[in-house]
Amino acid sequence: MRIERIELRLVRLPLVRFFETSFGRVYDRTFLVTKLDGEGASAYGECVADDNPYYSSETTDTAWQIISQFLVPLVLGVSFAHPREVFSAMHRVRGHHMAKAALEMAAWDLYARQQGVPLRHVLGGVRAEVAAGVSIGIQDSLEQLGERVAAELADGYRRIKIKVKPGWDVEAVSLVRERFGPIPLMVDANAAYRLEDAGHLAKLDPFNLMMIEQPLDYDDIADHAALQRQLTTAICLDESIHSVRSGRDALDAKACRIINIKPGRVGGHAESIRLHDLCAARQVPVWHGGMLESGIGRAHNLHLSSLPNFSLPGDVAASRRYYQPDLIEPGIEVQPDGMIPVPDGPGIGVYVMEDRLEKATLRRAEFVL
């Protein structure tokens, strides 16, 4: 597989509904789209960095700069026997996993398209459909939260995650439990608490949550281990797991019992597979996180979610919850049973609507041999 052309776009799409986490409320999403051409095929990737450094230190601008100046020269014109070689080809650039993943994941799509098979076949997927969960942002009132949960359950979603922060936690969980009973329920704090809040967080224990995601700081492992010792609820790490090694360190330290895998955060599909395998070997379940992706990133996520140890429903929801229209056709839809079929065509298996992509583009660059 030889990468002959790389196109990079800065894209912005309005969200169907605002999304609020412990770091603020957003009404639109800015991200990068990559397109690779090689040997007659074209393929796509999405860079999940945001236009601010609140979830991750990477932003759309840092990713643009790193991709253009340092990563493109390491992959353009290079012949790869397999896309698993792409991440290591970029090894001399430290960090910048979201930037790397935008190229690496597109390379997997390119390879699968050249082979004429769905991406999941080359990733090692074992399922043709995956269980969908939803991430519900912080709302203006508990009443609104109740309405959102009811609507998502009616759409079939198999797990509800609610975002929490100090002042929007125990009452929110309590309301959902009272109103909806023993549904699969979890919370995500996006690093909004400190170890001193352990006593407060223990008030969530009686609610039998599946897990609490990333309660403490974005790069912390040791305090999470101390917190896990004080909670019966399982801790799941998201932000803290930025590589296979940090995943191993977290498991060794018993800082979590579950790991959220986002390929953007760890540098792409190959690193995600390695992390998935490490967790499987240690009987630690994983699930696929979400970053408000457009249909391009969403399709990639579905294929990766078909690997065997993605045993819990992920944040892999229907396109129409996020963007209308999305950049792809057909949109990704959740079935009444809460499952999403993994697209069946070659590569990511969805059509990218180039006219919509062009309309959403703020900036474009092209790199050719």
Chain residues in the site for ligand OSB (CB under 6 A): 55, 135, 188, 190, 238, 289-292, 315, 317
**Rounded CA separation 56/73 (Å):** 25
Residue of 219, 186, 143, 191 whose CA lies nearest to 315: 186
Q: How far apart are CA 266 and CA 279, in angstroms?
A: 14
Q: Which does 87 bind (CB under 5 to 8 A by kind): ligand OSB, Mg ion, none?
A: none
Exposed/middle/buried for residue 312 (C-beta within 10 Å: 0-12, 13-18, 19+) = buried
Please identify, using beta-carbon distances, which residue of 75 and 317 lies nearer to ligand OSB.
Answer: 317
CA 352 to each of CA 37, 287, 305: distance values in angstroms, whole numbers, following the listed order: 14, 26, 21
Query: Minimum Å distance from CB 277 to Mg ion?
Result: 22
What's the min distance (Å) between Cβ of 315 and Mg ion? 8
Total number of residues shown for the chain: 369
Sequential DSSP letters for 163-187? E-BTTBSHHHHHHHHHHH-S--EEE
| Minimum distance, C-beta of residue 196 to ligand OSB, in the bound complex (Å) | 22
Taking CB positions, which residue lies at the least distance from ligand OSB?
A: 290
CB of 44 or CB of 157, closer to Mg ion: 157
Under the criterion CB under 5 A, does residue 152 sit at the interface with Mg ion?
A: no
Assigned token pair, 89: 């080809």
What does 8 bind: Mg ion, ligand OSB, none (CB cut-off 5 to 8 Å by kind)?
Answer: none
- Residue 359 among the catalytic residues: no
**Interaction of residue 238 with Mg ion, rule CB under 5 A:** yes
Q: Is 160 helix (H, G, I), strand (E, B) or coil?
A: strand
Give the C-alpha separation, 117 to 343, whole Å.
Answer: 11
* Partner that binds at residue 193, options Mg ion, ligand OSB, none, CB closer than 5 to 8 Å by kind: none
CB 346, CB 121: distance < 8 Å: no
Nearer to ligand OSB, 118 or 297 (CB): 297
Pick one of 58, 109, 155, 188: the residue that binds Mg ion (CB under 5 A): 188
Helix (H) or strand (E) holding 18: strand 5-21
User: Which tokens go with 119?
Assistant: 């991406």
Q: In angstroms, rounded to a whole number, what is the distance separating the alpha carbons of residues 364 and 345?
A: 27
Identify which range of 29-37, 163-171, 234-242, 246-254 contacts Mg ion by CB under 5 A: 234-242
Site for Mg ion in 292-321 (CB under 5 A): none
Query: Which residue's Cβ lies closest to Mg ion?
Result: 238
Total site size for Mg ion, rule CB under 5 A: 3
Residue 286's binding partner, choosing from Mg ion, ligand OSB, none, with beta-carbon cut-off 5 to 8 A by kind? none
| 189 to 218: interface string for Mg ion, x by CB under 5 A | ------------------------x-----
Residue type, 74: L
Binding at 55: pick from Mg ion, ligand OSB, none (beta carbon under 5-8 Å per type):
ligand OSB
Nearest C-alpha neighbor of 31 from the set 113, 137, 105: 105
Catalytic member of 35, 100, 161, 163: 163
In whole angstroms, the minimum distance from the beta carbon of 7 to Mg ion comes to: 30
Q: Output the six-digit token pair for 202.
A: 């223990």
Crossing angle, helix 97-115 and helix 269-281, to 10 degrees? 100
Residue 42 CB, nearest approach to Mg ion (Å): 32
Q: What angle do CA 141, 142, 146 make, to 5 degrees?
A: 120
At closest approach, how far in Å is the CB of 119 from ligand OSB? 19
Positive or negative torsion for Cα 172, 196, 240, 204: negative
Query: For ligand OSB, which is the closer residue by CB, 89 or 234?
Result: 234
- CB of 194: closest distance to Mg ion in angstroms? 17
CA-derived radius of gyration, the chain: 20
Q: Which stretch binds Mg ion (CB under 5 A): 149-157, 227-235, 238-246, 306-314?
A: 238-246
Active site residue 262: yes
Residue number, 149 or 350, with CB nearest to Mg ion: 149
Catalytic residues: 163, 262
Q: Which residue ranges make up the site for Mg ion (CB under 5 A)?
A: 188, 213, 238
